[in-house]
Amino acid sequence: MSFPIERPRRLRSSPALRRLVAETNLSADHLVQPLFVIEKSNFVQPIPSLADQFYYSPDRLVEKVEALARQGIPAVILFGISDRKDAVGSQAWADDGVIQRAVRAVKAGCPQMLVMTDLCLCEYTDHGHCGIIKNGCVDNDETLKLLAQAAVSQAAAGADIIAPSDMMDGRVAAVRQGLDDASFELTPILSYAAKYASAFYEPFRGAAGSTPAFDDRRGYQMNPANRLEALREVRLDLEEGADMVMVKPALPCLDVIYAVKQTFGRVTAAFQVSGEYAMLESAAANGLLDLKRAVCETLIAIRRAGADFIISYWAEQALPWMGEFAS
């Protein structure tokens, strides 16, 4: 059967018909808003490297989270940015650390919002690496102990979901063990399982002051050339007890998202990262494209590839844009 019997255009003739036959959807349920918290009080300021994104002090974070909750966004992921950085990143597990204070404030002020915490040392180390340094290298196994400790500290502050992003081998098992030993056996782990060494994290590092002082992250983050290796990383993390897995970045990795979802059928998240945000924001600021349509197109493409939910800096902004785009 082919033309003139088959005419795919018949199902494209009106907004209602296009909505009726759409294969993929995107709603508030699928979006997670990243937020940056800093060690100040009564403070909200724009982030220079991320247009229209802000630093919040823990006390001012709550009003932002309440606004997101009113839009129906189910979760936020918090990044704590410490100005007390040291060689081992000890603020990552400090009881009065910035992330711990932020989590407590949000859970007290807006308990229905799910709080995910990014678990890594790079926002807390003075050298900017995601682990501690021994003989000039990031020491995998020593780092695991600190990550477990930081995870417990985040859970104790009230974090609903722990999201390790460091890419050390064995970290999901270490974090799971740490959480279980501290009676947080019901706290889920969202593992940044397939996290590539990407040029698209640069605006985030500007915002977090986490650019490595020497070398780069290619010794622990993945080579963008590899997809089978992503499946291996995901398999290992699931075996170690990850409850959900993430692919990062998103748009450069649609094939990876697809393969992960097809292969494992587990809850699969995608992180539309800071460089993806900057790329379209700058193009739009230069009058080169329609930001709203471009953003919605990328979000639906990431869903189409197989992501169950998307961490996106546009989460809040894009929701009102989706209705028009979807029809």
For ligand PBG, give the closer residue by CB, 64 or 217. 217
- Binding segment for Zn ion among 24-32, 128-136, 153-161, 265-273 (CB under 5 A)? 128-136
257 within 8 A of 306, measured Cβ to Cβ: yes
* Region binding Zn ion by CB under 5 A among candidate stretches 19-27, 112-120, 247-255, 295-303: 112-120
Using DSSP's 3-state secondary structure scheme, residue 312 falls into strand
Task: Kindly write out the interface string for residues 245-284 of this chain, putting x where it contacts ligand PBG by CB under 6 A and - elsewhere.
Answer: ----------------------------xx----------
Count other C-beta atoms under 10 Å from residue 227's C-beta. 16
Q: Which stretch binds Zn ion (CB under 5 A): 32-40, 94-102, 117-125, 156-164?
A: 117-125
Q: Which of residues 203-242 bind ligand PBG (CB under 6 A)?
A: 204-205, 217
- Contact at 8 Å (CB) between 95 and 55? no
Retrieve residue 175's tokens: 């974090």
Q: Which is nearer to ligand PBG, 181 or 216 (CB)?
A: 216
Q: Please say which residue, 85 or 111, places its beta carbon nearer to ligand PBG.
A: 85
User: First CA to last CA across the chain, in angstroms?
Assistant: 28
Q: Is residue 167 within 8 Å of residue 130, measured between CB atoms?
A: yes
Q: Which residues contact 185 (CB under 8 A, 6 or more apart)?
A: 179
222 binds Zn ion (CB under 5 A): no
- Residue 130: CB minimum distance to Zn ion, A: 3
Which residue's CB is nearer to ligand PBG, number 131 or number 188? 131
Dist. CA 279–CA 50, nearest whole Å: 10
Greatest Cα pair distance, the chain, in angstroms, is 70
Looking at the Cβ atoms of 118 and 281, the one nearer to ligand PBG is 118
Binding site partner of 204, from ligand PBG, Zn ion, none, Cβ cut-off 5-8 A by kind: ligand PBG
Part of the chain binding ligand PBG (CB under 6 A), chosen from 105-113, 151-159, 198-206, 262-270 = 198-206
List C-alpha distances in Å: 317 to 53, 215, 222: 11, 36, 30
Residue 201: name its binding partner from ligand PBG, Zn ion, none (Cβ under 5 to 8 Å by kind).
Answer: ligand PBG
Binding Zn ion (rule: CB under 5 A), the pick from 122, 132, 305, 311 is 122
Amino acid type, 105: A
Q: Is 120 in the site for ligand PBG (CB under 6 A)?
A: yes
Residues 65 and 109 sit within 8 Å (Cβ to Cβ): yes
Three-state DSSP class for residue 80? strand
**Cα Rg of the chain, angstroms:** 20
Please give the residue ranges that form the binding site for ligand PBG (CB under 6 A): 118, 120, 122, 130, 165, 201, 204-205, 217, 273-274
Please give the residue ranges that form the binding site for Zn ion (CB under 5 A): 120, 122, 130
